Structure 1
Amino acid sequence: MRIHVVGLGAVGSFVAFHLRRTLHPKHTVFALHHKFSAPTISKEHPIVIESEGVVHSQSGVEHLAFTLSPQRARPDLNPRLDPLRQPHTDLRVALDCRNEPHELHRIYGAIESLVVTTKAHAVPRVIAALSGHLSRNSTIVLLHNGMGMYEKLVEEFFPDPYDRPNFVLATNTHGLWRKDVLHVVHSGVGEIQLGIVPDPHGRDYEAAVRGTGNVPSWKPLSLDDIASISDEHAQSVSPRYLSLRNTISALTGARALGATWRPYDDVQTAMRRKLVVNCFVNPLSALLQCKNGDLLSSNHSRWILDHLCKEAEHVFRAQLAAEVKEMQKAYEEMSEEKAAVGPPRPQPYPRALTSLSLMREVERVVDLTRENYSSMYWDVKLGKPTEIKYLNGYLRKLGLKYSVRTGVNDILFGLTQMRTAIPFVGKPS
Structure 2
Amino acid sequence: MRVHVLGIGSIGTLLSYHLRLSNPSTPISLLLKSQITSDSFWLDQGHSRRGGELLVLPSPPLTISSLGAFRFNTELLTHPTSPILSLLVTLKCPSILPALQTLSPRLSKDSTIVLLHNGMGVYEKLIKEVFTNEKERPRFILGTTTHGVRAGKEKFQVYHHQPEGTINGGGELVFAVVPSSSSSPSSDSLDQTLTLLTSLKNSLNAEVIPYEEIQPKLLLKLVLNSIINPLTSLLSIPNGSLLLSPTPIGNPTLLPLIHQLATEASLVLQASHPSLFLSDQPSAFGPDALVKKVLELAAATSGNRSSMLQDLDAGRETEIEFINGTLVEMGRERGVETKGHEMVRGLVKAKEGFGRGSAGRV
Work out whether the TM-score is over 0.5: yes
Match in the other structure for 1:241: 187
For residues 103 and 43 of structure 2, the distance between their equivalents in structure 1, rounded to whole angstroms, comes to: 20
Amino acid at match of 1:314: L
After the TM superposition, which residues 27-106 of structure 1 pair with which residues of structure 2 at under 5 Å, given as runs?
Answer: 27-35=26-34, 36-42=36-42, 45=45, 51-52=56-57, 55-57=64-66, 58-67=69-78, 94-95=79-80
Q: Is the 8 A contact 1:195 1:267 kept in 2?
A: yes
Q: Which runs of 5+ in 1 are unaligned?
A: 68-93, 96-107, 204-237, 325-345
For residues 423 and 244 of structure 1, the distance between their equivalents in structure 2, rounded to whole angstroms, comes to: 41
For residues 64 and 161 of structure 1, the distance between their equivalents in structure 2, rounded to whole angstroms, comes to: 28
Deviation at 1:352, TM superposition (A): 3.0
Match in the other structure for 1:198: 179
Two-structure CA RMSD over aligned residues (Å): 2.4
Aligned with 1:125 (options 57, 73, 98)? 98
> Is residue 264 of structure 1 aligned with residue 238 of structure 2?
no
Deviation at 1:241, TM superposition (A): 2.0
Match in the other structure for 1:408: 340
> Is residue 23 of structure 1 aligned with residue 4 of structure 2?
no
After the TM superposition, which residues 318-329 of structure 1 pair with which residues of structure 2 at under 5 Å, given as runs?
Answer: 318-321=271-274
Match in the other structure for 2:265: 312
For residues 63 and 209 of structure 2, the distance between their equivalents in structure 1, rounded to whole angstroms, comes to: 31
Deviation at 1:413, TM superposition (A): 0.7
Aligned with 2:115 (options 142, 148, 166)? 142
For residues 112 and 50 of structure 1, the distance between their equivalents in structure 2, rounded to whole angstroms, comes to: 33
3-state DSSP class of the match of 2:254?
Answer: helix
Q: Give the TM-score normalised by structure 1.
A: 0.71
For residues 167 and 64 of structure 1, the distance between their equivalents in structure 2, rounded to whole angstroms, comes to: 22
Q: Is the 8 A contact 2:6 2:89 kept in 1?
A: yes
Amino acid at match of 1:245: D
Amino acid at match of 1:244: L
For residues 354 and 44 of structure 2, the distance between their equivalents in structure 1, rounded to whole angstroms, comes to: 40
Match in the other structure for 2:89: 116
Q: Which runs of 5+ in 2 are unaligned?
A: 163-168, 245-250
Which string of whole-angstrom CA distances, capped at 9 and with x for unpartnered residues, describes residues 185-211 of structure 1?
1125311111111122258xxxxxxxx
Indicate how the Cα distance of structure 1 residues 389 and 243 shifts in structure 2: closer, same or farther if over 3 A, else same. Answer: same
- Of 129-138 and 358-367, deviating more is 358-367
Amino acid at match of 1:247: T
Match in the other structure for 2:285: 353
Deviation at 1:39, TM superposition (A): 2.7
Amino acid at match of 1:181: K
Alignment length (residue pairs): 328
After the TM superposition, which residues 297-308 of structure 1 pair with which residues of structure 2 at under 5 Å, given as runs?
Answer: 297=244, 298-308=251-261
Amino acid at match of 2:204: L
For residues 56 and 309 of structure 1, the distance between their equivalents in structure 2, rounded to whole angstroms, comes to: 35
Match in the other structure for 2:160: 186
Q: Give the TM-score normalised by structure 2.
A: 0.84
Greater fraction helix:
2
Which string of whole-angstrom CA distances, capped at 9 and with x for unpartnered residues, describes residues 73-106 of structure 1?
xxxxxxxxxxxxxxxxxxxxx43xxxxxxxxxxx
Amino acid at match of 1:392: N
Indicate how the Cα distance of structure 1 residues 416 and 130 shifts in structure 2: closer, same or farther if over 3 A, else same. Answer: same
Match in the other structure for 1:13: 13
3-state DSSP class of the match of 1:194?
Answer: strand
Amino acid at match of 1:193: V
Amino acid at match of 1:265: E
Indicate how the Cα distance of structure 1 residues 152 and 365 shifts in structure 2: closer, same or farther if over 3 A, else same. Answer: same
Deviation at 1:280, TM superposition (A): 1.0
Deviation at 1:357, TM superposition (A): 2.9
Match in the other structure for 1:169: 142
Match in the other structure for 2:299: 367
Deviation at 1:55, TM superposition (A): 4.0
